Structure formats: structure tokens, C-alpha cells
Structure 1
Amino acid sequence: MPIENIPEIYIKDNNEIPDLFAYDFKMTHDVVKSKVNLGMNMFSFLQVGKKQVHFANTSIAVNSKQSLLLKKGNWLWTELLDTEIIYYCKLFFFSEKKLIDFLNKYTNNVKPYQEEVPYFVIENDHYIGAYISSLSSNTFVNHKYSDALLVLKFEEIMLYLLNKYGNQFEYYLHSLISKQVSPFKHIVESNVYSNLKLEEIAFLCNMSLSTFKRHFASAYNEPPGKWLQDKRLQKAKELLEGGELKASEIYLDIGYNNLSNFSVAFKNKFGINPSDILH
């Protein structure tokens, strides 16, 4: 699957990436776990459909009642149509320079803050709904004051969210200019029980699959496929022994695409079928 460089693919003149950029995104088919290299921090104002994003250490799913502020980086995202035939959202990108300008102008000089997650979920309300309606890429094309208008729109949503969420949002904004990168092991171990494939975890580590396998073998003294399978099967055994869940209810959550493959792997490791575990 090719990597999509965003927002570059939306900009006609790739030689010049603007500091602020609004884009109307529409789609007529589902896209599952596309590889995205997000080169700028971005607001995703979802209007119709559902969105899920896998980050290095976690994942988040939202619908049209929520919006997301996403940190730049290598992410996997899934965009799903809802009852409508078109998936529709407004994207608003901003550079680190514009963010720093804003923080210097309006916020306190807080200590560097390490965020737990690379996203901020925004609960939409009437004001945000009206804001989204006003944020159309057509508004800022061939407009004498388009750059100035975009700065105002950027400051408007930032100030509104600072007022709405207070210190929580302010700290998050400061974390966006942090240069800390999640360590390799933290990314791997955060995805032990996800249903991501090896190449998808490698992508979140910003590595090719072959490089990822080398790093993994060096860090864990074991091939990643076997290590992950053992961890996931051990977790499955614990869940089944708890007595409240069946194999058919857990196989997807621990990385198997079908019940049959899970049952075979389980029996190969433990010598019994998942259904034979006594509660």
C-alpha cells in the first residue's frame, strides 16, 4: 500500500507548502488503514462518516459528532462511509511556526509537556458547527485577503478551544512542538494486543519491514511474528480462563482475522482447543 503524504497531495504547487491550509475532503468508498505521512498538525472536522486512526501507541475512533486535532507523524487511518454515500470532512493544516506564534501571543510559557496521546478529541457544539461551515477551501482561493483570513480562522478555533477546554488544551498545544519520539519498545508493546500486521506496526515505528525485523530481533532476541503470537495467545488463554468470554468474542481483538486460524494456533501452543478450557 503506497504512503500518502498529506497535505502535499492536496496542494497543486508542491514546491510551496503554506503555513495554513484548508481542504474539503470527500470520498465515495471506504478506505481501511491507509498509510499516511502527516507532515503538519491537522484539525479533522468530520461532517459525514466515521474515522479511526492508529498511532504509534494507541488508536481513536470518532464520528461526525466529534472532531480531532492530530499531531504530525506516520499514522494509519481508516475512513468509513456511514448511512450516506459520501464521506465528507474539512481538514485544516497548520505549521509549527504558526502554532508557536499563537502560543507566544496568547498563552503562558508553560513547561514542556509530554502528551500521553498524539490526538485531542473535540466535542462538536453549535459554535464549532458554524465554524466548520465557514471553513471551505473555496473561500480562500483567489481572495485578496485569503492569507489574513486563514490566520483569523486559525486563531478563532484555537481561542475557542482554549476557552472550552482550558489548561488541558493549552498543555496539549505545547506538546505539539515537543521533539520527543516514542521509543521503539513502547510502540511495539502498545500494539501487542492490537490486530495490526507487522508491516503496519513497522510503519508506525517509521521503519521498513526489514529494518523493523532487525531492530526487533536485537531488542527481544526473537522474531517479531513468534513473539507477538505467543503474547497474544497467552492473553487469549487468560481471557478464556476468566470464564466470561468465548473464543468467537476475542479472536479479532488479539490479532486474528478468523476464528479457525485462532483455534489452530491456540491448539498448537497449548495442546487443547479454546473451547476445551474449563471455566
Structure 2
Amino acid sequence: MVFIKLSMPHFDRTLKQYVEDEACFMFVNRGEVSIRSQEDYITLNRNKGLLAKCLNYFFEPSEDQSKCDDGIESVGIFLYPSLVEEVFEFDISKSNYSLDFNLKQIEIDRLLENYRESINILLDNPELADVHMIKTKLKEFVLLMTKSQQAPSQLDFLAALFKPNEVAFKSTIRHNLYANLSLDELAALCHLSTSSFKRKFKEVFNDSPKKYITKKKVEKAAELLKANDLRISDIAYDVGFDSLATFNRNFISLYGKSPSEYRLS
């Protein structure tokens, strides 16, 4: 599969599972969606696309729910080493070029907008999409991306797409502390099984994931209670608690008083 169009109604956080040696680009035709990875949290809509290397990341509903009332329609372009080596007659192992990102938000300029429309026509009229046409459109896409990312050559751009940047374990945790992720989801972002994630977490932070993350969320909430006039319920959700009751219980456990009492004191 090189080009695909997907329509999604309302959805919860959904994992884009790691596939070895697969890179992709995503256009959003309708609606808005957020993407969460090890170090990134970006928003996509009709004006912004996604260039992604091969790694785990999550699709999440937009924070502005009004932009998702009709669901989401997206177009994906998938790249694989064996495919690009066949189409371009490249040996991507010959390039050591790298790109300093795993996910990147791409502005949809006039060239990409016209390209998107041409792919929509092919997807809506599959009888037009013979092998020659698909290869031609794939070459056009790689040329557009090579120029927009200012890569030295198409070979260098393609080779770099299949080299994910390593992200430190601590950095992944730090960037996702307040995201209301389950342990299974955090483990997925770290490309670890849940059991391996727990062991790694204990080694790095000398505490269990649940205790450490809960404490950090409560400490962040205490800062917000002192620093502004946000409603307590808003603060609870902002730091990643899924219910006000759970937040209150953990806050009292750490500080010996309720959030409202803490704010007054």
C-alpha cells in the first residue's frame, strides 16, 4: 500500500504501531487531529501535514472538539526501503545523511495542496492508478519533500527517513508526564513491553511509575494552584488526572489538605 484514504468518526487515543522500515506522510482532508510521540505533541489539520519516521506514536482527538464534529478524513503516503530502491534505483545504505526529527509538522503550501488533490483524484478513481502512475506520483512526492526539507539529494532524504532519532528514556517520560497516559501507553512510546518499561523506570527513577508520575502530577497541580486562578477541576485535568475525585485523593495524600484548602493557605 502506497496511498490510502481513511475516514474516522469520533475516536479515542489510538496507537500508530511501529512498523520496521516504514516512513509516511499524512494529509488531513477534513477535521483536526493531534499526534503524540516520545518528544512531540503536534496538531494536524488541512493546512498542516505530518512527516513521520518509523516509530510508535498516538493519534489523539483535537483539543478543540468543534473541529472534529464530522470526524477526520486523511490521506497517507507510505514509503519502504525496498520500494524506493526499486522506484529510484537507489542504494539507501550509501547515504549517512540524517534529519534531526522523528515527527515533523509540514506546512501545506500550494505545491503540496496541488499534490494532495492529485492523490485524492487517484484514490477516488482507482482505475487511473496503474503502476506507472503510482511510481510517478511517488517520485513527485519525494522531490517535493527533498526540496522542502533542504536535503542534499533525494537519496539523502530517503535514507534519512529510515533512521529514527534515538530519544532518551528520561526525555520521553518528561515530555509525557501530564498526558494522562496509561502505563501500557507510556511503554509503547518507549518501544518497550509493559514489564520491561516498569523495570527500566525503576532503574532510572528509583521508584515505581505509578508513584513517581502521580507525585509529579500533584506537585505540578500545587504550583498551578498557587500561580493562577484556574478552577481546581481544570487544573486536575490539565496535569493528567482523569477524574476530580482521584486528583483530590492523591493531593490530600501528599499535602495533607485538599486542593481548595491548599490554595487558601
Band the TM-score falls in, shorter-chain normalisation = 0.7 to 0.9
Instruction: Please report how far the alpha carbon of residue 177 of structure 1 lies from its aligned counterpart in structure 2 after TM superposition.
Output: 2.8
Residue of structure 2 equivalent to 1:188: 173
Q: Which has the higher strand share?
A: 1
Residue of structure 1 equivalent to 2:6: 25
Residue of structure 2 equivalent to 1:256: 241
> How many Å separate the matches in 1 of 2:159 and 2:81?
10
Q: CA RMSD in A?
A: 3.2
Give the match's secondary structure for 2:112. Answer: helix
Which amino acid in the other structure matches residue 62 of structure 1?
A: L
Give the match's secondary structure for 1:265. Answer: helix
Residue of structure 2 equivalent to 1:230: 215
Instruction: Please report how far the alpha carbon of residue 84 of structure 1 lies from its aligned counterpart in structure 2 after TM superposition.
Output: 5.8
Give the match's secondary structure for 1:73. Answer: coil
Residue of structure 2 equivalent to 1:126: 110
C-alpha contact 1:75 1:204 (8 A) present in aligned 2 = yes
- Render the CA deviation track for 1:60-93: whole Å, top value 9, x for unaligned: 1212222111222222213568466453111110
1:34 aligned residue (14, 24, 36): 14
Instruction: Please report how far the alpha carbon of residue 96 of structure 1 lies from its aligned counterpart in structure 2 after TM superposition.
Output: 3.1
> Structure 1 residue runs of 4+, over 6 Å off?
100-105, 168-172
Residue of structure 2 equivalent to 1:8: none
Give aligned pairs, total: 253
Which amino acid in the other structure matches residue 16 of structure 2?
A: V
Give the match's secondary structure for 1:192. Answer: coil
> How many Å separate the matches in 1 of 2:60 and 2:127?
29
Instruction: Please report how far the alpha carbon of residue 160 of structure 1 lies from its aligned counterpart in structure 2 after TM superposition.
Output: 2.7
Which amino acid in the other structure matches residue 55 of structure 1?
A: S
1:60 aligned residue (37, 42, 45): 42
Instruction: Please report how far the alpha carbon of residue 97 of structure 1 lies from its aligned counterpart in structure 2 after TM superposition.
Output: 4.5
Q: TM-score, normalised by structure 2?
A: 0.80
Give the match's secondary structure for 1:45. Answer: strand
Which amino acid in the other structure matches residue 113 of structure 1?
A: S
Instruction: Please report how far the alpha carbon of residue 35 of structure 1 lies from its aligned counterpart in structure 2 after TM superposition.
Output: 2.0
> How many Å separate the matches in 2 of 1:185 and 1:101?
39
Q: TM-score, normalised by structure 1?
A: 0.76
Give the match's secondary structure for 1:252. Answer: helix
C-alpha contact 1:51 1:78 (8 A) present in aligned 2 = yes
1:43 aligned residue (6, 20, 25): 25
Q: Which is worse superposed, 223-232 or 161-170?
A: 161-170
Identity %: 23
Residue of structure 2 equivalent to 1:16: none
> How many Å separate the matches in 2 of 1:232 and 1:275?
16
Residue of structure 2 equivalent to 1:243: 228
2:141 aligned residue (141, 144, 157): 157
Which amino acid in the other structure matches residue 33 of structure 1?
A: R
2:58 aligned residue (70, 76, 94): 76
Matched, 1:148 2:132: yes
Instruction: Please report how far the alpha carbon of residue 140 of structure 1 lies from its aligned counterpart in structure 2 after TM superposition.
Output: 5.4
C-alpha contact 2:50 2:105 (8 A) present in aligned 1 = yes
Sort the Cα spacing of 1:83 and 1:218 in 2 relative to 1 into closer, same or farther, 3 A. closer
C-alpha contact 1:248 1:259 (8 A) present in aligned 2 = yes
- Render the CA deviation track for 1:6-26: whole Å, top value 9, x for unaligned: xxxxx6xxxxxxxxx111212
Sort the Cα spacing of 1:156 and 1:259 in 2 relative to 1 into closer, same or farther, 3 A. same
Which amino acid in the other structure matches residue 32 of structure 1?
A: D
C-alpha contact 2:31 2:70 (8 A) present in aligned 1 = no
Which amino acid in the other structure matches residue 251 of structure 1?
A: A
1:178 aligned residue (121, 142, 163): 163
Q: Which has the higher helix share?
A: 2
